[in-house]
């Protein structure tokens, strides 16, 4: 039984199994339960942005950083600088399963997490790739416009509670453009910075689903 303590999140009737990742194993894998066994990773553009820890595509293995939310020991952190230009981005991601594939999160109402920033960028976008927006879903012809929400980070830890039905796609691009997130086939979670030419220092901790429907 996984009875480690976790942050005081109102989980809306969900049990410990709803917690995705709390960093306290100090490794790069999510908490292995409820059919989830995926990994954390960092990612970036091809335009010259930088990210630490080294991006997975470049052979990097994600490492946790000391100093988590609510007095915990560890948290996920990415630092770097975005390139100039409108296509600059970098971020932190969590795959729900390994090998990468869809995960059924339809029994939950949304996702909650703690986040803060160091110096630099304040705006981060939470993205939830699903079967319609992730290339692995083999549906999209213009991929990566994931359902998401913009959040503003402070230098102190804050909890963000984001309902799935409040997520939306960015305007003007992406195909298809379904009316809502397919929560029965999500591929993971991503926190992306996309302010060109800017330093960033983003911390994420205590990531959980909430609001169990059944």
CB 70 within 8 A of CB 7: yes
Report pLDDT for 9. Answer: 59
Q: Which two tokens stand for residue 158?
A: 């804050």
Under a CB-based contact definition with an 8 Å cutoff, are residues 125 and 194 in contact?
Answer: yes
For the chain, list the domains and their CATH numbers.
19-176+185-210 (2.60.120.430)
Positions in the chain short of pLDDT 50: 1-7
pLDDT tens for residues 115-139?
999 999 999 999 999 999 999 999 9
pLDDT, tens digit (0-9, with 9 covering 90-100), for 161-194: 999 999 999 999 999 999 999 999 999 999 999 9
């Amino acid at each position: 039984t996984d009875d480690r303590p976790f942050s005081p999140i109102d989980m809306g009737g969900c049990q410990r199994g709803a917690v995705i990742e709390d960093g306290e194993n100090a490794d790069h894998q999510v908490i292995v339960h409820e059919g989830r066994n995926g990994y954390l990773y960092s990612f970036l553009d091809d335009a010259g942005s930088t990210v630490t820890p080294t991006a997975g595509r470049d052979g990097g293995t994600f490492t946790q950083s000391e100093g988590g939310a609510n007095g915990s020991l560890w948290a996920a952190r990415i630092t770097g600088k975005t390139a100039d230009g409108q296509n600059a981005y970098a971020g932190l991601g969590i795959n729900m399963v390994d090998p990468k594939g869809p995960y059924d999160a339809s029994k939950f109402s949304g996702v909650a997490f703690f986040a803060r920033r160091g110096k630099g960028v304040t705006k981060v976008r939470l993205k939830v790739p699903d079967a319609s927006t992730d290339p692995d879903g083999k549906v999209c012809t213009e991929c990566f416009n994931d359902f998401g929400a913009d959040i503003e980070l402070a230098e102190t830890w804050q909890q963000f509670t984001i309902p799935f039905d409040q997520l939306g796609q960015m305007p003007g691009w992406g195909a298809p453009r379904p009316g809502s997130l397919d929560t029965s086939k999500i591929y993971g979670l991503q926190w992306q910075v996309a302010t060109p030419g800017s330093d960033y220092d983003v911390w994420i901790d205590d990531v959980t689903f909430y609001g169990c429907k059944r």
